[in-house]
Amino acid sequence: MQAVDLNIIGGKVYIHGGFVEASLAVDDGRVVKVAKEPNLPRADREIKVGGLLVLPGLVDVHVHLRDMELSYKEDFYTGTCAAAAGGYTTVLDMPNTKPPTTNPLRLKERIQRARSRVVVRVGLYSGLPDRLEDIPEMARLGATAFKVYLHKPITKLDTSRDDILINALSEIAKTGLPVSIHAEDAKTIQKLKKEKQTTKSILDRIETHPPEAEIKALKRIIPIIEKTKAKTHICHISTKQSIKIINEAKRKTEITCEATPHHLLLSEETVQKWGTFAFMDPPLRSRDVCEALLEGLRLGLIDVVASDHAPHTIEEKTQEDVWSVPPGIPGLETTLPLMLTLVDKGVLSWRLLVHLLSTRPAEIFGLPVGSIEVGGWADLVVVDAKSKYRIDPANFHSKAHYSPFEGWEVKGKPVMTLIAGKTIMRDGEILARPGEGAVILGRKINS
């Protein structure tokens, strides 16, 4: 074999469901050989990882990179720097942007803007378009998936009408792309908001998003999914009943779901300490729900762990009027350390961690990444599983320097992130320049 571009030497490589002491040869962005060091081809460049763990690069199917008119919260560069620092090589960006990504012109603008700024692979969601006839065009232009918000629509279409949703999901099904659903019932939320609007407590605002809103939305959307055969992914589930409802639906239709680290690890008690900094949508639930969600992961009932990285400014999160505070927290730089800590504690296995954070999200969204194999992309994260430290939002690459996980001691740290064999992060330093990442068009990855 001729000299290759890169050899990654001396790691414990996660391949085919377990770790092997091996080295990787990479050429033209792809893994070409997995072997002991003496059996590798010559290489132009070497990286010695000294017994550290080499995992597939993480895939996050739920992030908000903001940009455009929301660049003051986050932009394509800072958001993807946060991704790289957190071990993510591929992220899918949500469409509730300003302006919203709900027509072909806005999707084209967003693709163009991302190309010059991102440092990881980025796929772009299309919102449910303002016109149903634009659905095929959004797919043709390169949307990776569609997103429907049942609680707070960003489309001009009336999603309170079942016939509109049936027509929309039928058209999406024809594209072959997945549709992600934010499942909360708008009428339930609006009714409770009217009752509590005069109060000034964040706890009162949280009560306007009860578990019943999620359950009601799921019971409404699942028959529509079954009727339309749309490949559907349910975002950030936050109730015990949601796990049961979705897994019963899996017998009849192609449906998957995700949980976030904050719904897995934080409870409503966290809001007592952190106030609006622990406000997200859906909100944190009881400790019993956390345990049920973790059990759902272990039993294979929940398919994906996604960060729901949703950055805002500290000024926005500390407004006096709690009804004006936007929901969401940054998550790209905390998710992997938190999940690695669960592995260290024996809550999750390594196999399950890789499945939830890399392999399964890539499978669901039809992306040719998420595993280490000969011929596959050399999208990798090198992990020091022994590193202990406390989460400090002051060190985030994201513009959002806050987190309800502040001060948590974690064990396990991403120390290097590579995309197509190129090192984009090392020891917390971002080495890639703006635009050195790539925009995924549909499911196509070119480099």
**Which residues does the annotation mark as catalytic?**
308
Pick from 382, 376, 381, 373: which is nearest to 445 by CA? 376
CA atoms in the 13 A half-sphere facing the CB of 373: 9
Burial class (CB in 10 A: 0-12, 13-18, 19+), 336: buried
Q: Which residues have a Cβ under 8 Å from the Cβ of 421 and sit 6 or more positions away?
A: 5, 6, 26, 27, 29, 30, 378
Sign of torsion over alpha carbons 31, 439, 88, 347: negative
Which DSSP category does 349 fall into? Answer: -
Helices first, then strands: H and E counts in the chain: 15, 18
Cβ contacts of 69 within 8 Å, gap of 6 or more = 97, 98, 99
The amino acid occupying position 82 is: A
Specify the 3-state DSSP secondary structure of 426.
strand
Alpha helices in 158-239 (DSSP H): 162-175, 186-196, 202-206, 211-228
Please state, in angstroms and rounded to a whole number, the distance separating the CA atoms of residues 209 and 281: 8
Handedness of CA 200, 206, 209, 212 (dihedral sign): negative
